[in-house]
Structure 1
């Protein structure tokens, strides 16, 4: 290259780049989006890219140093770290802190803020990624929605099934067996409705409804051995608040019961303890050893007038996977009558130590309750308490554990009060949550501000889900369905 052209090129590069100069020191922490200040993260997580919350900031210059060595640098409209270098830095500093230095340019002036820390946990994540549903803000129409999977080590998201391939259908509730991608269930609602089950490398489509049950198969949860899957059957209704400023919609069930589906015999196991006429049983989950079936139950109310008097207790009943029989006694673990609150979405950790649940004022559909908070039950001591560090002033709900029970995820509306986003946190040795961090994105400020979809029913997956979307679409559009029978 001609030396004059080279000089001109270098001048152009320098003119287009912006590096800190004449920097003014500030003792304040930077206001960054997402808020990653003092969070705890696992080795292997995607880079925690961030932007300055102030829209007047044009350039951010970030240096990350590890307590055990290593350094990263990013300069641009946001902190966009090199993925390979980020993972090397986390591996080098496992169990130690990262120190983040932030300089921001606003109106041509640079400010250097007080450094903040990110702690790299000793506890591994041990999961490849996530599965979740992305849904639009709609109350009645299915619109465009889909089930997706996301690699947690980078920003790659791929669809498993999107309802534009099966028009006018609703797809929801992708539920693996303890994060195992080879065994899962999800529902399709609409003209080609079905319950889709994958087990032992084979996909089966069940009839969406069994009239003897009085409803569809809802809220699934697998028995750890894989033969059985618990469901509730619900007649779900919704109503809209006319005056409440903080609440838009209420979802309730006019009827709900619990049963267990036997995948080998295509039969439904029922018990009168779980199908009481004056009570509403809901959201069943098996204990990690398979010996207990947890569920929530509430005395039925006069709907919709007394919807806010419905409060669910947490209960459990024994289950014998050899005989497929339930126990003869229901134990109440958290009593809604004495507590004055409602329990929903119970999820036991896979190591058997804890049970994570959501507490709300009434009802069970926590997504629409701004007072919804995460609570935990110690299954050894039976003590229960809120996960204060994970909660916010807005809705927390729909949580799930990693297989090693060291990390959990949940959805929250804390970002803007409108859309649910995914957050991750860990449980320390004292059973307390670490400060959660939002699911990383390449350009998070741009991504989340433009995303007009909510994350719904997320879960971890040990490996990528191997799914043939074209064949699955063909099977759903076919008329072939397996009938379920009631086990008498």
Structure 2
């Protein structure tokens, strides 16, 4: 049913754009994707794009120039081979792009812009889930990996291999492709752990209260993983700016000792008077950040739940948790709520999602990315990252100079992935859409990108090995 509705949506999109030369380009932007004045890593795949001019292909050309190299493309669909793109981006730190059209046998420049090329390293792979944007049920889905230097995408695991399961909440240990986890739901439920090439399935039925683990964060030692434990319900709005509400009727945080498969708990992380969720270990492993909101009556007061950003000191080698919760960002004066805290590898910047209320920001149109400088105790301007639609889940590259995040800015329905440069002072560059071989690929993609994570290399565990453990 979902596929049928999505097919109808694409038919409508095609017909609504029938006056354009190609479907999907009913946009006021001169080029799609919008790569004007973005900062890119030197190791990114070629930036294919389309020039949105009414002229025929023969009367459109694009020049890309550095001080020592030049490429010329005739026509509206602009593509490059890996070799010529590599030669271009390694020749200089700035690329000048000129869009030209032919009028009366003369070439006239209609627009020009720059592409900035950074030598700051970026992790070579992304992992993400691809899922149809439904609310109640799921169809085919999977967790995939993408090489950023080219367009190659491979499945880490597709749910078609095990009947009627959902795979979600994947996470690596600091981008290590040999240490990662993901959950499978509903039955046979469990958490799949891959560590040092060994695949295992954790029995997460720890107690009457703790039967499933949800949002994860790896400790840098690889010996511990913090999880939230959530009792979640959802409702679909009949009249509201947001399509759906997801609420936690109850949520706590626990820390799993991976080797012993036992939980470390604290009353400070499992208070009956608060909802604790979205754990995030600091880079040095000495603090656990998390979101916490005072417990109120739900679901009737759903739009009054607001989560603060908090932290707790931890010493996991000694098995001790702190005795006092610190509130890092109070949202009382912000009239907002915080979700998805992610700390930079340097430990200085906390990237998070801010929205009006609640914690499930992926369906909140007002959700924006924000950043807090933990060293100087001040907010950092991130307005360049945001749009009028949802910006939500995000992660850092291991060197701390690049982020990836999900956004619905293209259609308001599907989430796509955007990358952005972050300099040493926390200044963000203009985000750019994850490059594809064809510039129109996203208009024929009926799945949303979900939970993007950087990885330092490819996952090599076979689907067959994962499947064998998941069916137990």
Q: TM-score, normalised by structure 2?
A: 0.90
CA distance in 2, matches of 1:444, 1:197: 36
Alignment of 1:106-125 (within 5 A): 112-125=109-122
Corresponding position of 1:378? 373
Where in structure 1 are there 5+ consecutive unaligned residues? 1-28, 479-488
After superposition, the Cα gap between the structure-2 partners of 1:202 and 1:105, relative to the gap in structure 1 and judged at 3 Å, is: farther
For 2:33, the equivalent position in structure 1 comes to 34
1:62, distance to aligned residue in structure 2 (A): 1.9
1:188 to 184, 192, 195: 184
Aligned residue runs from structure 1 range 2-401, under 5 A: 31-53=30-52, 58=57, 60-67=60-67, 69-93=68-92, 96-103=93-100, 112-125=109-122, 127-244=123-240, 246-401=241-396
Look up the SS of the partner of 1:327 in the other structure.
strand
- Structure 2 CA distance for partners of 1:104 and 1:261, relative to 1, 3 Å: farther
SS in 2 for 1:115: strand
SS in structure 2 of the partner of residue 47 of structure 1: coil
CA 1:30–1:475 in structure 2 vs 1: closer, same or farther (change >3 Å)?
A: closer
1:413 is displaced (CA, Å) by: 0.8
Residue of structure 2 equivalent to 1:3: none
| 1:452 and 2:409 correspond | no
- 1:469 to 2:466 alignment: no
Q: Give ranges in structure 2 of 5+ residues lacking alignment.
A: 1-27
| Residue equivalent to 2:5 | none
Query: Secondary structure, in 3 states, of the residue corresponding to 1:184?
Result: strand
Contact 1:252 1:363 in 2 (8 A): yes
Structure 1 residues 268 and 109: CA distance shift in structure 2, 3 A? farther
- Is the partner of 1:210 in helix, strand or coil? coil
Q: Do the aligned partners of 1:354 and 1:376 also contact (CA within 8 Å) in 2?
A: yes
SS in 2 for 1:470: helix
**Deviation for aligned residue 1:114:** 2.0
Change in 2 beyond 3 A, CA 1:55/1:355: farther
What is the distance in 2 between the residues matched to 1:75 and 1:213? Answer: 64
Q: 1:164 to 1:53 in 2, by over 3 A?
A: farther
Query: How many residue pairs end up in the alignment?
Result: 443
CA deviation after TM superposition for structure 1 residue 77, in Å: 4.6
Q: Taking structure 1 as the reference length, what is the TM-score of the superposition?
A: 0.87
Residues 226 and 253 in structure 2, CA contact (< 8 A), matched pair in contact too? yes
SS in 2 for 1:337: coil
Question: Max radius of gyration: which structure?
Answer: 1
Distance 1:54 1:295 in 2: 48
Query: Structure 1 residue 197: deviation in Å?
Result: 0.9
